[in-house]
Amino acid sequence: MAKYPAVAFGGAFRLYLCPLSRYRGKGPTVHGMSRERTIWIDPRTKDLAGTLVHELYHIQNPSWTEEVVLRAEEDWGQFAPWQEKAKAVQLLASAKMAGKGEYP
Ligand SMILES: [Zn+2]
């Protein structure tokens, strides 16, 4: 059994890069957001791959709490093989810069 929950990198979804600081309320800094099949990632984030996987876990497991997703992201970062890290990097490389009307 894997030490982290499975995450799928395929499937059709939109991936955008844009600053997300405007979405910060009183909570912690927002590094990524997702809605339905669209993901937004702040390119100033240190752990871009982890943030992408975090949002993929949200999309693929809508019933999970934030705590469960954070734990899954952490385990993925620690235990996922390099091939999965490479898939995350490839996906990030295909991301589009958000234009007008493409922000969350
Ligand atoms: Zn989250």
Q: How far is the CA of 57 from the centre of ligand 1 (A)?
A: 8
Q: How far is the CA of 47 from the centre of ligand 1 (A)?
A: 14
Confirm whether 73 is domain-assigned: yes
Q: What is the pLDDT of residue 10?
A: 86
Which residue ranges of the chain lie beneath pLDDT 50? none
Q: How far is the CA of 55 from the centre of ligand 1 (A)?
A: 6
Confirm whether 49 is domain-assigned: yes
How far apart (Å, rounded) are the C-alpha atoms in residues 63 and 15? Answer: 22
Range of the domain at 32: 14-97
Please name which of 57, 2, 68, 62 lies closest in space to residue 32, comparing C-alpha atoms.
Answer: 57
Confirm whether 7 is domain-assigned: no
Q: What is the pLDDT of residue 1?
A: 59
DSSP reduced 3-state for 33: strand
pTM: 0.93
Residue 54: give its domain's CATH number.
Answer: 3.30.2010
Q: What is the pLDDT of residue 28?
A: 76
Confirm whether 6 is domain-assigned: no
Q: How far is the CA of 38 from the centre of ligand 1 (A)?
A: 14
Q: What is the pLDDT of residue 85?
A: 97
Q: Residue 61: in which H helix or E strand, if any?
A: none
In the chain, at which residue ranges do the beta strands (DSSP E only) sit?
14-17, 32-35, 38-41, 96-97
Confirm whether 104 is domain-assigned: no
Confirm whether 4 is domain-assigned: no
Q: What is the pLDDT of residue 64?
A: 97
Confirm whether 102 is domain-assigned: no
The residue with tokens 């991301």 is 95
Q: Residue 79: in which H helix or E strand, if any?
A: helix 66-79
Give the total number of structural domains in the chain: 1
Q: How far is the CA of 73 from the centre of ligand 1 (A)?
A: 9
Q: What is the pLDDT of residue 95?
A: 97
Confirm whether 70 is domain-assigned: yes
